[in-house]
Structures are given as C-alpha cells and as structure tokens.
Structure 1
Amino acid sequence: MGLLVISITASLSIGSHMLHPATLPNLLMSYHSLDSADAALLSLRLPRTVLGILAGMALGVSGCLMQNLTRNPLSDPGVLGINAGALLAMALGAGLLGLTDWHIYAAVAFLGATLAALGVHAIGFVGHPPLIPLRLTLAGVAMNAVLGGLATMLILLDAERFDRVRGWSTGAIAVADFTVPVAIMPFILVGLALAFLSVRGLNALALGDELARAMGVRVRRMRLVGGLAATLLAGAATAGAGPIAFAGLMVPHIVRPFAGADERRVLLYTALAAPSLLLIADTAGRVVLSPAEMPAGIVMALVGAPVFIAILRRRSGFS
C-alpha cells in the first residue's frame, strides 16, 4: 500500500513541470476551478493516474489468475495473445466500423480478448496430456504474433483512419479527461469481483485438479469464472490503455516472496503492486526523454523482456 501511495504521488508530481507533493492536497481540492497553472496541470495528470491504477490492477490480477488457473508461471494477458485480440477488435471497430463510444470500445475489446483466449486454450489443450504449460505459452505467442500482425497491417494500410488505434498500440495511459477511466471502470469492477469470488479455491487448485476436487473445489466452474474474470480485466485494460505487456507476468513473481505460499495473498498483493509498477513506468517515461514522452507500454516492455527471460531460464525444467 505504501508503494502505491508513493507511485500515485510521483505520477501526480513528476513531469516536464514539477509539482511539490506538499501542495497536492490543496490542488486536488481546487483543480476544477483551474485558477492556477499548477491546478490546470494536475487536471491533466489526474485522469492518467486513475487510468494507470485501473489498468495496472486489471492486468496484474488477470495475469495472477491465469498463472494459477493454468498452473503456468509464464501466463500473462500479453503472452497468451489476449491483449492482441483486444487490440485487433478495437482496430476493426474504430477503423472499419467508425466506433467512437468508449463504452462500446470496452465491450468490443472484451469480445476480441475472449475470442483470442478461446483460440489459445483450444490449441493449448489439444493433445495428451491435455494441459502442458509450455504448449499453452507457445500457442499464446503464436496467437499474439498473428493478431498483432493483423492489427499492425490494418494501421499501416490506412494511417489516417487508424490514427487513434496507433496511439493505443504503444500502450500509453496519457488521457485528457476522465472519459476513458469512467468507461472501462464498470468492466474492471465486475472483473475484480469475479476474481475475488474465485480466490478461495486457488490454494487447492495449486495442488492439482484431483486434490482440489477431493477438497470440494468445483474445478471446472472455478476455471470458468476465473477465466471470465481474467479475460474481462485484460480486455477492459487494453481498451483503455492499449496492449501493455508483462504487467501481469512480472508482478505475481515479484510479490510471491513477500506474500508466501497463500495464493489469495499473492492475488491481493498483485492488485496493489501492479498499478504501482505501471505508474512508475509511466512516470519514468515522462522524464527519460524529456520534454518528449516514452509511452508506459514501451517502458514496461523494456523492463519486462529481461524479467521474462529470467523466469523462463529459472523454469526451464517444467513441461
């Protein structure tokens, strides 16, 4: 919780023009009046901070759920192609259908994420035994490449029509007002509620399906509810912030030494740490190329890729 407070304060304070943290409470109370340059600046930073909190929490919890439900330490909305499915659906909706309502964007992104998730799991569960973590990961990487390539092709074919989608594709949380956070918030709240409804059986599921059933866990229903929650969270986060990779992959592994073996605590710690990481990435992106900005999604990719390789090397023995 302390890290989240620090990251929120940094997100509101740091940029091309600095705001002193001590002045934030007064500015938050009066920023609607826009009677000063600082208040006007805060009115621009506050929506992106709220979006960072929502998107980070959604991606972190989604990744944590996927890792538990599939017993695959490399599961993540980006790695399994769910973010790419949401992005392609948004590209089709915005570029070909002319959609402009953010509530519809969130619904379309959820549909694309769902179809991508179904495709990945259909490929990953084919064969014997029916669930091999590495096969599921490879299916996700392939799906991510195909769907991401299609979205990129659409953007390049008509740059003017897909101009808004091009901005999303970098994973930027910079927004001008609260329209985007408010539009995706209901989807994320429902996803979080479903996630924490399924949390009771995560420890049992970690022991294997048979032991979980013996302990009274309805494994199929739990995977259905948890998978729906993970897909809803990933789709809504992608609709608001674009395809931000590795947030759901890194954070559960980072918090696990502090949370211990209780997967319920891992999920809770992830829900607090993931938005902190995304806000720190966004804040770093503002200063590393100042006065220009590097989108948070690119910063996350630069940090996440080495972490992914380290996890893969450490887990090279699983099958």
Structure 2
Amino acid sequence: MSHSTDNDLSNENKIKNKGPFGAMMILIFGTLALIFGLGLSISIGAASIDLTTVWQAIFAFDADITDHQIIQEVRLPRALGSVLIGAFLAVSGAIMQGMTRNPLASPAILGVTDGAAFAIAIAFAFFPGMSYLGLMGWSFAGAGLGAMLVFGIGAFAKGGVTPVKLALAGVAVGAMLSSFSSAIAIHFRVAQDMSFWFAGGLAGVQWISVQLLVIAAVVGLGLALLISRSITILSLGEEVSKGLGQKTVVVKTAGIIVVLLLTGAAVSVAGRIGFIGLVIPHITRFLTGVDYRWIIPCSAILGALLLVLADLGARMVNAPYETPVGAITALIGIPFFLYLARQEGRGL
C-alpha cells in the first residue's frame, strides 16, 4: 500500500474518533433548549398566553377557547415552521461547506437564496394565485439558477477558485438577482406581495406550509444523513476522497440536490433569511469535530434553535410590531462573515 493511501486511511480513522461527546451534548441539551424555546415562541405574542394553556391547546384542544384557536391556527404552525426552516438552512450550509471545503459557503452567500427569491418574483408577476406547491417548485429552480451562476463565474476566476473569490461571486450574483427581483416586483406591481419574501419572516406560515416542509424534511434531511459519511471524506479533499474509492460526482450531485431542496423549501415559505447556514456549521464543527455524521444532525438542532430564538426576538424588539427575522439573523451573521472573510483573505 502506498504512503499516500496510508495517510488517507489515517485521516479517515481520525475522523471516526472525534466529536461523539460534544455531539451528544448538543443532541440532548440542544433538543431540550429547543423544546423550551418552542414553548416560549408559542406563548409570547401580541397577547401573552401562559405555558399551561399552550400545553392544553396542543394536547387537549378545545375549539370554544379563543387562546386554543390562536395557538393551533397561528402560533403552532409558525413555531414548527421556524424549527424546520432553521434546520434546513443550517444543514444546507454544512453540506455546502463540506463539499466545497469553503468556510464562507452558505445558501445566502453563494446566491442560492437570492436565486430562489428571484424565481418567486417571476412566479408572482406572471402566474398570480399560484399554490404553495407551485411556489416551492419555482423556488427550487431559482435556487439552482443562483448556484449555477455563482459556480460558473467562480470557475472562470483567474488563478482558480478560492473561498473568497467564490464568496465575492456569490455576493455579486446575489445583488444582481436581488435587483432583478425588485425591478420585477415594482414593474408588475407585486412589490407588496414580495416585501415579505425580501425581508424574510415567519408570520405567513400556515399548516399547509408546514405539511410541505415536513415532506421536504423527510426527503432532504434523510438524504443528507445518508451521504453524511461521504461528505466527511469529501471535505478532506478530492484526492483523498478518490483514494478511498469514493465516487465524488455522485456525492456532489446528491449534495446539490439536498441543498436545492432544503433551501428552495425554506425560501418559498419564509423568504430570504440569511447567515444561519454560515454561522451554525462553524459552531457545530467547533463542538463536534469534522465528522458530518455528527455535524448534520447537530446543525439541524442548533439551526432550528437559532431561528426559533431569532423569531422570538423579532417579535419582542419593537413590540407590538414585528422586526423582519432576517434582520435579526443578519446582526449575528454579518460580523461572523467579515471575520471569516478576513481570515480567508490572507490566502488570496
């Protein structure tokens, strides 16, 4: 066996020995924190409802009680939607960072989110009254368009693709698609309908939205877990991956499908919510190591928790009015992005 192959196997063995303790702490305590956060999210709003009533509304629903109706029809779907969307964005970011070995990769930064919003703007302008399922399909297509443009531009960059060059291409493409979306919204007079998707928020989540998100979760998160070991090996580099006999094209194709499915579903329901896919995978890797069999489920838990808390903050910052939840996540994500860009910029 060659020295190179010995190193490959050594790398794989090191991966197996990292992170179970940190991951189990996240899965246990993160889940408990998420349940508590869900209770607060359902309880707090324009009218505060005590946690006992929340429990009764979920497990002993009485249609004659107004608070029960508010919880079942408004607050519960919104809370569950925030869990799923936060998990989707975090897992998408983790997979993108693993596949590209780019610490700056995330759906928002690499044009995927803006592409999905651009496609939704077209759908609103030319196909008014489209169903949630139709919007989700357009969102998937737009997410694919955004990713294709960013990676296409990055491939032609002088000196090859680097994390910062790919991020710059993503910012440029995102700004372009965002401008096109705004122009379409204004010209076709759907700006009011599109304002929700531009700002990002969870106020419009309904049970039909949650049902579609659950389907996307079963397919997307299930596939993400299936390819998690392959993403771990791919994150070590293509040469290592091929040396261990991995079919990198198949893994990358599956990873792209997961990202487009999860991001497209998230944007179609909640609009553009940035930086969860950037911040959460870094925190997760710091706590669990580099094994994506741990990173993916832990990112899902932490991403869900972050969005639940961000949505709660969005309702409390300027009560009784709501602040766009995208603004709350941006306050966390932008400094983090600038820090990472500065670190990676030294390698230009």
Give the structure-2-normalised TM-score.
Answer: 0.86
**1:234 matched residue in structure 2:** 263
**2:103 matched residue in structure 1:** 73
Q: What SS does structure 1 have at the residue aligned with 2:199?
A: coil
**Rounded Cα–Cα distance in structure 2 between residues aligned with 1:194 and 1:131:** 27
Q: Are 1:96 and 2:126 matched, yes or no?
A: yes
**1:19 matched residue in structure 2:** 49
**Rounded Cα–Cα distance in structure 1 between residues aligned with 2:214 and 2:347:** 37
Aligned length: 317
Do the aligned partners of 2:310 and 2:329 also contact (CA within 8 Å) in 1? yes
Q: Are 1:51 and 2:81 matched, yes or no?
A: yes
**Rounded Cα–Cα distance in structure 2 between residues aligned with 1:318 and 1:39:** 56
Amino acid at match of 2:119: A
Do the aligned partners of 1:188 and 1:236 also contact (CA within 8 Å) in 2? no
**2:253 matched residue in structure 1:** 224
Aligned residues: percent identity?
32
Amino acid at match of 1:272: I
Amino acid at match of 1:286: R
Q: What SS does structure 2 have at the residue aligned with 1:48?
A: helix
In the TM superposition, what whole-angstrom CA distance separates every residue of 1:178-197 from its partner, at most 9, and x where no partner exists? 12222343234322122122
Amino acid at match of 2:267: T
**Rounded Cα–Cα distance in structure 1 between residues aligned with 2:239 and 2:258:** 23
Q: Are 1:5 and 2:42 matched, yes or no?
A: no
Unaligned runs of 5+ in 2: 1-30
Alignment of 1:226-305 (within 5 A): 226-305=255-334
Alignment of 1:198-213 (within 5 A): 198-213=227-242
Unaligned runs of 5+ in 1: none
**Rounded Cα–Cα distance in structure 2 between residues aligned with 1:188 and 1:162:** 30
**Rounded Cα–Cα distance in structure 2 between residues aligned with 1:249 and 1:183:** 24
Amino acid at match of 2:211: V
Amino acid at match of 2:141: L
Alpha carbons of structure 1 residues 42 and 220: separation in structure 2 relative to 1, 3 Å: same
**Rounded Cα–Cα distance in structure 2 between residues aligned with 1:78 and 1:219:** 24
**Rounded Cα–Cα distance in structure 1 between residues aligned with 2:228 and 2:102:** 17
In the TM superposition, what whole-angstrom CA distance separates every residue of 1:253-296 from its partner, at most 9, and x where no partner exists? 12222212323211221011101101100001111101111121
**Rounded Cα–Cα distance in structure 2 between residues aligned with 1:131 and 1:201:** 22
Give the structure-1-normalised TM-score.
Answer: 0.94
**2:16 matched residue in structure 1:** none
Do the aligned partners of 1:47 and 1:175 also contact (CA within 8 Å) in 2? no
Moved more, 131-140 or 225-234: 131-140
Alpha carbons of structure 1 residues 312 and 3: separation in structure 2 relative to 1, 3 Å: farther
Amino acid at match of 1:47: P
Q: What SS does structure 2 have at the residue aligned with 1:134?
A: helix
Alpha carbons of structure 1 residues 125 and 215: separation in structure 2 relative to 1, 3 Å: same
Amino acid at match of 1:104: G
Do the aligned partners of 1:30 and 1:39 also contact (CA within 8 Å) in 2? no
Q: Are 1:139 and 2:169 matched, yes or no?
A: yes
Which protein shows a greater Rg? 2
In the TM superposition, structure 1's runs of 4+ consecutive aligned residues that sit over 3 Å from their partners are 127-131
**1:197 matched residue in structure 2:** 226
